[in-house]
Amino acid sequence: MPVRYEERDGVAVITIDRPEARNAVSPEVARGIEEAIDRVEANSDVQVAVLTGVPPVFCAGADLKAIGEGRGDELSTERGGFAGVVRRERVKPLIAAVDGPALAGGLEIVLSCDLVVASTNARFGLPEPKRGLVAGAGGIFRLARKLPENLALEVVLTGDPFDVDVARRFGLVNAVCEPGEALQTALELAGRITVNAPLAVRESRAVALAGIQDEEAAWQRTYQATEVVMASRDVQEGVRAFVEKRAPVWTGN
């Protein structure tokens, strides 16, 4: 199975297990994550979930092979959106344990989590503009909330990655650890939550998010931008250039 699920002392561990494909999100991964979150939400014995990927990569984003096979729509689920998680409504905290690059859709998964633990091997970025695309799974507006405006714009407009030191300095991650220790560090953070009253944790999370998020307008603008870009000649050129391992020649339309 490309997604593994286990429970440890009131904490669920959801693991993307496709290291041979850089843990890219396939239709099976999207469904697996959604089903795992269903289990978390339905189980009163589970208070917190940790989402991770088998190293050396957290997640490289969408599975281009699946897209090439005409299965791109299956990378999203009806309730969860991309990867079964970026638009998923839930009541329990979700911690990302990042041990390696989290790029494109991988970063968008991280940004959909409540807390983030990252090893010094972690890198983050939204490289979509380098391929003529936009990050359509919430990454642009969520990153703009997490980082200072100029830095967020630099990341979004250049497509260049940034390292864990920058992520920690500006509050994108809660804790930094050595390579190979991201999951254990995330479990320790989860343990600091599970000692508290479950109802109080869920309600406190809901109040905090209600005060900082009003996402519907941002999602609608994201969909509009994605529609414009996907109808362009530049997106076709960006994909061809990537496959042919050459620099793209943009036309601006």
Closest CA to 24 of 77, 81, 102: 102
Sign of CA dihedral 48, 207, 85, 165: negative
Per-residue model confidence (pLDDT) at position 213: 63
For 77, the 3-state DSSP assignment is strand
User: What average pLDDT does this structure show over 169-196?
Assistant: 97
Sign of CA dihedral 48, 53, 55, 59: negative
Class at the top of the CATH hierarchy for domain 3-200:
alpha beta
Per-residue model confidence (pLDDT) at position 33: 98
Measure the CA–CA gap between 238 and 137, rounded to whole angstroms: 19
Q: Retrieve residue 148's tokens.
A: 């200072």
User: What average pLDDT does this structure show over 75-85?
Assistant: 96
Decide: 94 and 114 in contact? Cβ < 8 Å: yes
0.75 exceeded by pTM: yes
Per-residue model confidence (pLDDT) at position 15: 98
Measure the CA–CA gap between 146 and 241, rounded to whole angstroms: 32
**Domain residue extents for the chain:** 3-200
Alpha carbons within 13 A on the beta-carbon side of 230: 9
The angle formed by the CA atoms of residues 96, 223 and 109, to the nearest 5 degrees, is 5
Closest CA to 175 of 125, 126, 122, 211: 122
The answer on pLDDT for 211 being more than 80 is: no
The answer on pLDDT for 210 being more than 80 is: no
The answer on pLDDT for 143 being more than 80 is: yes
Per-residue model confidence (pLDDT) at position 212: 64
Measure the CA–CA gap between 73 and 66, rounded to whole angstroms: 9
Decide: 202 and 92 in contact? Cβ < 8 Å: yes
Tell me, what DSSP letter sits at residue 83? T
Per-residue model confidence (pLDDT) at position 214: 67
User: What average pLDDT does this structure show over 141-168?
Assistant: 95
**What are the tens digits of pLDDT across the range 217-226?**
777 777 777 7
Closest CA to 16 of 7, 5, 108: 5
The answer on pLDDT for 230 being more than 70 is: yes
The angle formed by the CA atoms of residues 63, 34 and 155, to the nearest 5 degrees, is 50
**What are the tens digits of pLDDT across the range 29-42?**
999 999 999 999 99
The answer on pLDDT for 243 being more than 80 is: no
Burial 111-126 (b: 16+ CB within 10 A, else e): bbbbbbbbbebbbbbb
Measure the CA–CA gap between 226 and 246, rounded to whole angstroms: 24
Catalytic residues: 108, 128
For 36, the 3-state DSSP assignment is helix
